Chains A and B, each alone.
Chain A
Amino acid sequence: MSISMRFIPLFSLLIYAITSDSCQNPVSKRDQILRIDGSSTVFTLSEAIAEEFIKLNPEDRLTIGISGTGGGFRKFARGEISIANASRKIKEIEATACRENGIKYLEIPVAYDGLAIITNSHNGWLKDIKLVELKKIWEPDAQNRIHYWDQIRADYPHQMIKLYGPGTASGTFDYFTEVIVGQSGASRGDFMPSEDDHVLIQGVAGDLASLGFVGLAYYEENIDRVKLVPVDNGSGPVTPSRETILSGRYNPLTRKIYMYVSSQIAQMDQGVEFVHFFLDNAGKFAQDVGFIPLADSEYRQQLSRFSEFLNQN
């Protein structure tokens, strides 16, 4: 008897284990799951709304992943998910991939996300910061030249600038470097990076001459530990708030976050319901999880755009 024949029982057992699993489950059940994936920033908002949605519709099945904005769009273009969460607009190459696979989509802005510039709460002299100063501190060149606060403004003390920021893999880092330095990902390398924003808050809270940036939600959970630094874009220092973000005055450290809805969703009752529920309640929940809601009229406008999109597909 040949060797391989002796192993047939093992392999057939394995194959049986796999196929018998799949036989028990008709494929149709899987198709009814509403799949959402993408940015981990937007995740918190989707999750909050999904949680309430499930409470009202316990029979409906939906899942949310955190593959990141780019990872989400890749799955979106393959038709693997029906909603992509995105902390930026879709890129041309991603849009092309969708077109090639016949995926039509609707871009829906769902809230504003602000970046907070923070320092130690006992720091009395850092009262505001100009965009050019942020650039001077963070640009790649600064690593060899800018080390002390009195290099930024002459009346600041001669103390080391201690920098804290999210890790280079995060969307927040990309966004900050894009609007401050002018090129996504371009930054000095000698700052304290952490993927865990709690570590950043802790670092800034323990370092008098520190400067850091985090998502506004993280600042709001730690108001008593760190201090917000108003940002001056040329027309005076501005503190991020609902009012300054909605009016566009807290510029450019505000971005819109999006959900991209695939035309697949038209065939999915709970998907359509979910998007309606999302837009009806986004304002309230955005506030809860630390984002700034859009104006109410804008959510209503997105709802009618969504209805139009459904009619066309």
Chain B
Amino acid sequence: MNREIRNKVFDIGFRIFGIFSTFLGVILIAIFISSIVQAGFSKIDWNFLTGLPSRFADHAGILTAWTGSLWILALSAIIGIPVGVGAAIFFEEYAPKNSLTRILEINLTNLAGVPSVIYGILGLELFVRSFKMGSSLLAGACTLSLLILPIVIVATREALRAVPQSIRQASFSMGATKWQTIWHQILPASAGGIATGVILALSRAVGEAAPVIVIGALAYVPFVAESPLDDFTVLPIQIFNWVTRPDPEFIVNASAGIIVLLSITFLLNGIAVYLRYRWQKKMKW
């Protein structure tokens, strides 16, 4: 009897703790977003979105920053997705289960914990200098692809593992080759999960400032990049730059910039949720 009451108390206690934890996160984010929106929303208009950088808070726009961020996003996706998904397929479907594979796996997991600025230093030496890409969008995208690679690989492996073994066996027994099985059965079945992981990884890349500053992204770029080899800036750098200015009016611009960056992230996350939902409905075995 006594023990029963104690267990019930624990049960209720844990439930309260769980509710508290959930709301703590939600409330903090709500406070953050509402204060940012209050400070910066009035600033967002056509002129702000299509304006070039300026020393006057009134005129300063964010065009080169958000276009730079979209460039980085697209290029990182083009570079990071094939490599990341390819590596994950190798690990899950091809790699023999031996100690070499295990060492590779452990290293990969560790890569996810490396501070992002370290990737910047690597990118500076490797892409900017050795490959002579200069401080270009391409060098930035390659660096950020490395950064998100571990996340893409881990998420893709999870998605591949969720495909039932019976599907593979059925495919093989129908005489399909391994590649046919992967291409026609496993990848379509896991596409929702892969897309979710990839998009979450990309939304991380879009918010990074440290590695792109190290590879030489700029603070003042008065033109929109037209090719992957152009110089660039991104939203986080523009926001940081505005926050550190003497004129307090720029704080409003920074808040507006944060709203733009958050919108991109939310949009990406929304797409991830949608894709997962759609693919789940489509898959019928």
Contact = CB atoms under 8 A, between A and B. Distances in A.
Contacts of A75: 216
Given A3-B94, A50-B220, A66 B54 contact: no
Closest 10 CB pairs of A and B: A64-B220, A21-B228, A25-B227, A217-B246, A65-B218, A221-B246, A66-B219, A48-B55, A218-B246, A63-B218
Contact of B53 (A10, A18, A51, A80): A51
B179 A43 contact: no
A65 B82 contact: no
A219 B103 CA distance: 56
A208 interface: no
B246 A14 contact: no
Contacts of A40: 219, 244
Interface string A192-207: 0001111000000000
Interface of B: 52-55, 78-79, 82-83, 86, 90, 94, 134-135, 138, 179, 213, 216-223, 227-231, 241, 243-248, 251
Contact of A66 (B52, B90, B241, B247): B241
B55 A7 contact: no
Contacts of A22: 138, 228-229
Contact of A30 (B54, B134, B221, B246): B134
A33 B246 contact: no
10 contacts: A10-B86, A25-B228, A30-B229, A46-B220, A47-B220, A54-B52, A63-B231, A64-B219, A66-B219, A196-B244
A43 B220 CA distance: 9
Contacts of B90: 3, 7
B120 to A, nearest CB: 12
A290 B86 contact: no
A217 B138 CA distance: 36
A44 B245 contact: yes
A66 B135 CA distance: 13
Contact of A21 (B138, B218, B223): B138
A222 B251 CA distance: 14
B216 A67 contact: yes
A22 B222 CA distance: 22
Nearest to A43: B219
Contacts of A197: 244, 246
Nearest to B137: A21
A75 B124 CA distance: 12
Contact of A14 (B82, B213, B223): B82
Nearest to B182: A6
A14 B179 contact: no
B243 A33 contact: no
Most buried by B among A48, A50, A65, A222: A65
Contacts of B138: 18, 21-22
Contacts of A21: 138, 227-229
B194 to A, nearest CB: 14
A65 B219 contact: yes
Contact of B78 (A17, A37, A43, A67): A17
Given A14-B82, A215-B246, 17 more contacts: A7-B86, A14-B83, A17-B78, A22-B228, A25-B227, A33-B231, A35-B231, A47-B220, A48-B55, A63-B222, A63-B231, A65-B216, A66-B219, A80-B134, A80-B135, A288-B55, A289-B55
A18 B138 CA distance: 8
Interface string A1-31: 0010011001001100110011011000010
A61 interface: yes
Contact of A221 (B83, B231, B241, B248): B248
A47 B53 contact: yes
A266 interface: no
A87 to B, nearest CB: 15
B84 to A, nearest CB: 11
B83 A196 contact: no
Contacts of B223: 61
B253 to A, nearest CB: 13
Contacts of A220: 246
Contacts of A62: 222
A116 to B, nearest CB: 11
A37 B65 CA distance: 18
A218 B248 CA distance: 9
Interface in A245-304: 288-290
B227 A24 contact: yes
A264 to B, nearest CB: 15
Contacts of A63: 218, 220-222, 231
A64 B232 CA distance: 10
Contacts of A33: 231
B55 A25 contact: no
Contacts of B94: 3, 6
Contact of A51 (B54, B213, B229, B248): B54
Contacts of B55: 44, 47-48, 51, 288-289
Given A48-B55, A62-B222, A65-B219, A10 B245 contact: no
B82 A10 contact: yes
Contacts of B179: 6
